[in-house]
Structure 1
Amino acid sequence: MWSFPLRRWARVLVPVAAVIVLAGCASGEQPAVSAGSTSSAVASEVPGTALEPALDHLHGLHLDANGVVLAGTHTGLVEIADSGRTTRVGVSDDDFMGLTGAPGTDRLFASGHPGASSSAPNPLGLIDSTDGGHTWIPKSLSGEVDFHALATDGELLVGFDGVTGLLISTDGGSSWTAGAPVAAAALAVTEAGVWATTTAGLQHSTDGGHTFTVVPDAPPLALLSAAPDGSLWGIDTAGTAWRSRTGQSWEPRAVVGPVEAVLAVDFDTAYAATAQMLYPLN
């Protein structure tokens, strides 16, 4: 079973002390600055905005049609204001283990487990919202799949089922086909293909997630997000934020330390977050 080792790598190796230089990951390996990065400048530490009230946990971020940051948590969807003020969206208290959305829209997809007020099967499979998370409907795989990672560009939807590998949908999550047997801590979709962070490194697919190759010299990313302009932002296993226009060459930007999610807005802007803090990246 891949589910526990993957969660441990994604959620334990990322949260390390924030330092200016890259630190070794918990496995004992020493991550190095990517030889393919476009800048050798040392990343700087980033001040954050405290979330009030703090979230109970954080599984993913999405930027809605109004430019508002939404966060998937253990007990539903939460809106994060620029001030750090957090407000529940809708009435769902489901545990969103996976959250994604068509970039810059109110179309959301989530997965996880039903909350205390829900009578839905466990796991949720894929649930769907067309109004920014105010309401949700079951879409597919109810009682069958708990997606630990989800990504979409608005057309292709890719998820890691936490056990055997990727599932791929081209019809908005109504039906699925098997993809590559890749254990992905995070996924992203751009015009250049599907991207997956794995224990073997950043991997790239040009056939819709059916086969992958390791990206040479990429930083050891654990978290990953794609922006509407096709750029990518990621957080490595030492807590440093990186960005890339193509996914092949990466530039270190900032040290954020122990974070749980990253959200790419465009090449110049992104957010990283924990359950307590939101960090603007540029």
Structure 2
Amino acid sequence: MKNTRKWPLTATAVLTLTLVLTACSNDPGVGTAATEPSAPALSHVHGLGIDPADNQVYVATHDGIYTPGKDGTAQLVGDSRDDFMGFTVAKAKTFLASGHPAPGTSGPAHRGLIESTDSGKTWKTRSLAGEADFHALDYAHDTIYGYDSTNGLLRVSKDGNTWDDRAQLRALDIAVSPDDPDTVLATTADGVAKSTDGGKTFAVGKQPVMAFVSWAKPDALYGIDTSGGLKRSTDGGTTWQQTAVVPGGQPQALTAVDAGHVLAATQDGIYESQDGGKTFTKRMAVSGGGR
């Protein structure tokens, strides 16, 4: 494990349950991995994003933020080797994250909400230092939505400084509707739970069980299960259709950039699809290790 902290629901618990529920599913073939870069492997991937400022892939890990070099090798961004947990690209050059200090460095065990305005090179604390450990962050409608695993609740902020505490629940990931700020999804052991009041309350999760979800466009909600099955919903999660299986085993992170552009981290790599999961390009190597 990483730094000592309590999880209301561990990734392992969700993934183990999902494997039981999806073991008999008939999945389409594994997507094609178009490239195999010989790169030093990353591990413990916690978040993915594309910075619209440079269209580059950014990977939040247990050991810093990385981006692929020209030859596919992982390049450390800035000099921080902190454990970056919840991570999202809010807008050009502006990243939001949470996490824990690297061994041997100072600071509270829980970073709270931190922000970078130079594409991850430097970071500053915004709020909740020592109080919150966001394991999932989403930025939509000029609002920050975060799942605080330390306290087991959804928190929402308009300015990144003051927070509204909403529902308590056990979740692994969250996603906000791109056209309705009150519609929030959370991945739970029962399935995908839905809120229609901005996260104040959630309905009981419904099948299928997902590890991670990401909502790029109103008709492009993506989810990934523990076998790497990539699913898409065009009706806000009421129904799902599996589109592919991401190569590399169990997932560690998922981000849908737009309706067809998807990033996924699995046990052996960072994969990118520009066609909704029909084909995948391996951008960087990953060496096992989950959350």
Given that 2:8 and 2:170 are in contact with CA atoms closer than 8 Å, whether structure 1 keeps it comes out as no
Change (3 A) 1:175 1:47: same
- Contact 1:155/1:170 (<8 A) preserved: no
Secondary structure in 2 matching 1:164:
coil
Aligned counterparts of 1:220 and 1:164: Cα–Cα separation in 2: 23
Cα–Cα, structure 1 residues 214 and 43, in superposed 2: closer, same or farther, change >3 Å?
Answer: farther
Residue 208 of structure 1 is matched in structure 2 by 198
* Cα deviation digits, residues 234-254 of structure 1 (max 9, x gap): 111332001123332221011
What secondary structure does 2:134 align onto?
coil
Alignment partner, residue 9 of structure 1: 13
Q: 1:268 to 1:94 in 2, by over 3 A?
A: same
Answer whether contact 2:156 2:166 (CA < 8 A) is retained. no
Distance in structure 2 (CA, Å) of the matches to 1:243 and 1:71: 23
* Letter matched to residue 32 of structure 2: P
Q: Write the letter of the residue equivalent to 1:234.
A: G
1:221 matched to which residue of 2?
210
Deviation at 1:144, TM superposition (A): 1.4
Match of residue 228 from structure 2 = 239
1:183 deviates by: 1.4
Q: TM-score, normalised by structure 1?
A: 0.82
Q: Is the 8 A contact 1:168 1:176 kept in 2?
A: yes
2:108 corresponds, among 121, 131, 140, to: 121
2: CA distance, partners of 1:68 / 1:212: 35
1:135 aligned counterpart, secondary structure: coil
- Equivalent residue runs for 1:1-282 within 5 Å: 3=7, 5-10=9-14, 12-13=15-16, 25-26=18-19, 28-30=20-22, 42-48=27-33, 49-50=35-36, 52-65=39-52, 66-80=54-68, 84-102=72-90, 105-116=92-103, 118-153=105-140, 155-190=142-177, 191-192=179-180, 193-214=183-204, 216=206, 218-227=207-216, 231-245=220-234, 246-256=236-246, 257-274=249-266, 276-281=268-273, 282=276
Quick check: 51-60 or 132-141, which moved more? 51-60
* CA separation of 1:67 and 1:6: change in aligned 2, threshold 3 A: same
The number of residue pairs the alignment matches comes to: 261
Deviation at 1:268, TM superposition (A): 2.0
Q: Kindly indicate whether the alpha-carbon contact (under 8 Å) linking 2:230 and 2:245 is maintained by their aligned counterparts in 1.
A: yes
Change (3 A) 1:142 1:163: closer
Distance 1:194 1:32 in 2: 29
Q: Deviations over 1:61-113 (max 9, x none)?
A: 111112211110111111135863321111111101211122x5322111110
SS at match of 2:257: strand
Q: Is the 8 A contact 1:58 1:275 kept in 2?
A: no
Unmatched tracts of structure 2, length 5 or more: 277-291
Work out whether residues 60 and 99 of structure 1, in 8 Å CA contact, stay in contact via their aligned partners in 2.
Answer: yes
Instruction: Give the deviation of 1:149 after TM superposition.
Output: 1.7
Q: What SS does structure 2 have at the residue aligned with 1:8?
A: helix
Q: Is the 8 A contact 1:244 1:267 kept in 2?
A: no
Write the distance in 2 (CA, Å) between the matches of 1:265 and 1:259.
Answer: 17
Any stretches of 5+ residues in structure 1 without a counterpart? 14-23, 34-40
Q: 1:228 to 1:86 in 2, by over 3 A?
A: farther
* 8 A contact 1:31–1:219 mirrored in 2: no
Deviations 1:184-216 (A, max 9, x none): 111111223211101121012122111112465
Q: Distance in 2 between matches of 1:154 and 1:105?
A: 15
- 1:99, 1:123 → 2: CA distance? 14
Q: Is the 8 A contact 1:235 1:242 kept in 2?
A: yes
| Cα distance change of structure 1 residues 83 and 202 upon mapping to structure 2, 3 Å threshold | farther
SS at match of 1:271: strand
Q: CA deviation at 1:117?
A: 5.9
- Structural RMSD (CA): 2.6
TM-score by length of 2: 0.80
Counterpart Cα distance in 2 of 1:131 and 1:199? 37
